[in-house]
Amino acid sequence: AEETINARNNKEVAIDLSGSVSSPDGCDIVNAWFELTDEYGELDRKQTLEINDDGTFSVTVPMVASRKGNDKDGRLYTVKFMAENESGIGESPETNVVVLHDNRKK
Mean of the per-residue pLDDT values of the chain: 88
69-93 pLDDT, tens digit per residue, is 888 888 999 999 999 998 889 999 8
Residue 48 pairs with which residues in a beta bridge?
A: 33
From residue 30, give the alpha-carbon distance in Å to each of 24, 48, 84, 102.
13, 11, 6, 42
pLDDT one-digit tens code per residue, 23-81: 888 888 899 999 999 999 999 999 999 999 899 999 999 898 888 888 888 899 999 99
**Residue 43, CB half-sphere, CA atoms under 13 Å: how many?**
19
Radius of gyration of the chain (CA): 16
Alpha-carbon distance values, 90 to 34, 60, 64 (Å)? 12, 21, 28
